């Protein structure tokens, strides 16, 4: 996560640490600290905002619509989809189906109806307006990856129909950071690891996120307790155990494609992360079959790596339309000397070695049958809540996936790793009505996921005007 939180002269970057202020002139250090402090202050102010109210759910029929059920790559043409009590009641051809008299009718206008999207790696940073941005972008499920008690409350209230937002899953606080704060906890030894897992479980968390800096003995102890309690483990690959160690311990999911870097970089030194390492060509042959055999899932988060290259020209990056929905103060922070993204690997190395390998690895994982799950690391400064998921889909297609395979990462695959595939993830009768109505077919061009006419979350319909209102309210709150 890159939120710009300075920790004793370091900035947290993608599970790594990077010294960013050493050698910087005092005036520049002061400016960076001021920009960062303002950014953090605005996040704290936003976290005090209430969740959005939910409207009354109405039984609905969506007519004249093409259905992409995501049970296969087929399109069901000219359908009538009936939703009752927040669930899909029926899907029938318009030629033979009858629209019930007691439902509200929504005109599909020959658009494409598909399951709502899931972003399975987000950091809302306590900001409830992130939930509005997810829904406005057709994201009906999120997985918070640096847990806070308020996320448990968000999940409970949204599930109960007391607040508007996507379905929320959450890990506990990051397990094994270098310091303890509201998002993470430092873990030094086996006993502390066991105690902390017990503590997170008792607090209501059912997902554990191990982090980069966990000592080997602490990691193994945490895994034993988590597995005994039936917790799902999704996280980084601790440097102390490597890919082989997380496979031996039974970690369910790896939180980033780039988390494998201790093993795919040749002669990797954990103390010197940002070096121009050569890639070990044997990594895929050695580990992909083991990942497939273990059923280990991998979250993608290609966007956060692409941003390493794209944001090195900060002005151009900030000119992107979605950046108007970035957290207040982010632009000033990104222009300050405290911004870490443009102080990592050189641009030439990123575009000629690092990024091409990540795309190649992602495609190889897909071809081998390793379950891929869409994630964006949104909330990382520069990766905007909601909007990032559409860019991630585009990058997955760039990596070699078909549009259908890319969409699977954000629908059925996501529901499977959440252990809720009986509730959501595809568009079939009986599932919860989490839906996105698109103007054009995303199976023909993945960029069509951005062309949204409406979103349904648990049976509550938000038309284009209401989605625009969510965006406008968010911008007003940010200003």
Residue ending a domain, choose from 408, 423, 438: 423
Domains: count for the chain: 2
Q: Which of 94-103, 178-187, 314-323 has the highest mean pLDDT?
A: 314-323
Residues 377 and 429 in one domain: no
Residue ending a domain, choose from 389, 406, 423: 423
Indicate whether 27 belongs to any domain.
yes
- The larger pLDDT score, comparing residue 215 to residue 339, is at 215
d(CA 342, CA 221): 37
d(CA 47, CA 218): 32
Q: What is the mean pLDDT of residues 341-351?
A: 84
Structure confidence by residue, pLDDT tens digits, 247-257: 999 999 999 99
By the 10 Å C-beta count (0-12 exposed, 13-18 middle, 19+ buried), 53 is classed as: exposed
Indicate whether 476 belongs to any domain.
no
pTM of the model: 0.93
From residue 232, alpha-carbon distances to 93, 185, 197, 415, 425 in Å are 40, 18, 12, 13, 19
Residues 187 and 295 in one domain: yes
Indicate whether 4 belongs to any domain.
no
CATH for 85: 2.30.40.10
- 5: how many CB neighbours lie within 10 A of its CB? 18
Q: What is the mean pLDDT of residues 304-332?
A: 90
Residues 254 and 194 in one domain: yes
Residues 385 and 298 in one domain: yes
Residues 305 and 451 in one domain: no
Indicate whether 3 belongs to any domain.
no
pLDDT at position 336 over 50: yes
Q: What is the mean pLDDT of residues 397-409?
A: 98
Work out the angle at residue 187's Cα, subtended by the Cα atoms of residues 183 and 191, and round it to the nearest 5 degrees. 135
pLDDT value of position 21: 32
Contact 3, 145 (CB under 8 A): no
Residues 327 and 205 in one domain: yes
pLDDT value of position 16: 36
Indicate whether 350 belongs to any domain.
yes
To 10 degrees, the CA torsion angle through 189, 190, 196, 198?
-170
Q: What is the mean pLDDT of residues 99-105?
A: 95
From residue 212, alpha-carbon distances to 45, 251, 306, 307, 466 in Å are 30, 14, 21, 21, 41
**283-297, 327-341, 368-382: least confidently modelled range:** 327-341
Give the range of the structural domain holding residue 401, as residue numbers without chain letter. 10-48+117-423
**Mean model confidence pLDDT for the chain:** 91
Q: What is the mean pLDDT of residues 259-273?
A: 95
pLDDT at position 356 over 50: yes
pLDDT at position 341 over 70: no
d(CA 154, CA 120): 16
Indicate whether 1 belongs to any domain.
no
Residues 263 and 312 in one domain: yes
Residues 88 and 104 in one domain: yes
Indicate whether 2 belongs to any domain.
no
Structure confidence by residue, pLDDT tens digits, 421-467: 999 999 999 999 999 999 999 999 999 999 999 999 999 999 999 99
pLDDT value of position 12: 32
Residues 112 and 129 in one domain: no
Structure confidence by residue, pLDDT tens digits, 41-86: 888 889 999 999 998 889 999 999 999 999 999 999 999 999 999 9
Residues 406 and 384 in one domain: yes
pLDDT at position 287 over 80: yes
Residues 368 and 429 in one domain: no
Contact 465, 124 (CB under 8 A): no
Length of the chain: 479
Contact 66, 39 (CB under 8 A): no
**Alpha carbons within 13 A on the beta-carbon side of 447:** 1
Residues 96 and 203 in one domain: no
Indicate whether 237 belongs to any domain.
yes
């Amino acid at each position: 996560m890159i939120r710009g939180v300075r920790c004793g002269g370091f900035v947290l970057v993608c599970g790594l640490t990077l010294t960013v202020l050493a050698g910087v002139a005092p005036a520049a250090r002061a400016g960076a600290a001021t920009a960062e402090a303002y950014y953090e202050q605005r996040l704290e102010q936003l976290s005090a905002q209430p969740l959005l109210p939910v409207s009354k759910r109405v039984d609905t029929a969506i007519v004249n619509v093409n259905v992409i059920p995501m049970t296969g790559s087929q399109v069901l043409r000219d359908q009538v989809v009936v939703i009752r009590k927040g669930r899909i009641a029926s899907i029938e051809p318009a030629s033979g189906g009858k629209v019930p008299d007691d439902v509200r009718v929504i005109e599909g206008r020959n658009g494409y109806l598909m399951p709502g999207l899931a972003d399975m790696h987000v950091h809302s940073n306590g900001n409830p307006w992130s939930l509005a941005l997810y829904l406005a972008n057709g994201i009906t499920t999120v997985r918070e990856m640096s847990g806070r008690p308020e996320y448990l409350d968000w999940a409970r209230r949204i599930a109960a129909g007391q607040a508007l937002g996507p379905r929320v899953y959450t890990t506990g606080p990051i397990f094994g950071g270098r310091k303890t704060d509201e998002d993470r906890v430092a873990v030094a030894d086996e006993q502390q690891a066991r105690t902390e897992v017990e503590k997170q479980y008792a607090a209501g968390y059912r997902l554990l996120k191990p982090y980069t800096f966990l000592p080997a003995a602490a990691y193994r102890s945490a895994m034993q307790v988590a597995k005994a309690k039936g917790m799902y483990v999704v996280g980084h690959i601790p440097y102390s155990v490597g890919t082989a160690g997380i496979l031996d311990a039974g970690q369910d999911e790896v939180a980033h494609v780039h988390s494998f870097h201790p093993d795919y970089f040749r002669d990797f030194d954990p103390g010197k992360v940002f070096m121009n390492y050569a890639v070990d060509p044997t990594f895929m042959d050695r580990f992909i079959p083991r990942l497939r055999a273990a059923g280990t899932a991998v979250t993608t988060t290609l966007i956060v790596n692409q941003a390493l290259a794209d944001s090195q020209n900060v002005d151009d990056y900030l000119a992107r339309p979605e950046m108007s929905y970035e957290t207040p103060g982010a632009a000033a922070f990104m222009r300050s000397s405290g911004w870490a993204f443009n102080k990592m690997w050189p641009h030439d190395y990123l575009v000629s070695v690092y990024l091409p390998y990540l795309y190649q690895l992602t495609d190889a994982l897909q071809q081998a049958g390793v379950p891929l799950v869409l994630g964006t690391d949104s909330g990382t400064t520069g990766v905007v809540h909601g909007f990032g998921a559409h860019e991630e889909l585009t990058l997955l297609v760039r990596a070699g996936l078909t549009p259908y395979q890319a969409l699977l990462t954000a629908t059925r695959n996501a529901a499977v790793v959440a252990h809720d595939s009986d509730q959501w993830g595809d568009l079939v009768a009986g599932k919860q009505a989490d839906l996105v109505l698109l103007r054009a077919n995303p199976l023909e061009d993945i960029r069509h996921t951005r062309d949204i006419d409406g979103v349904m979350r648990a049976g509550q319909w938000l038309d284009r005007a209401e989605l625009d209102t969510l965006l406008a309210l968010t911008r007003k709150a940010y200003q």
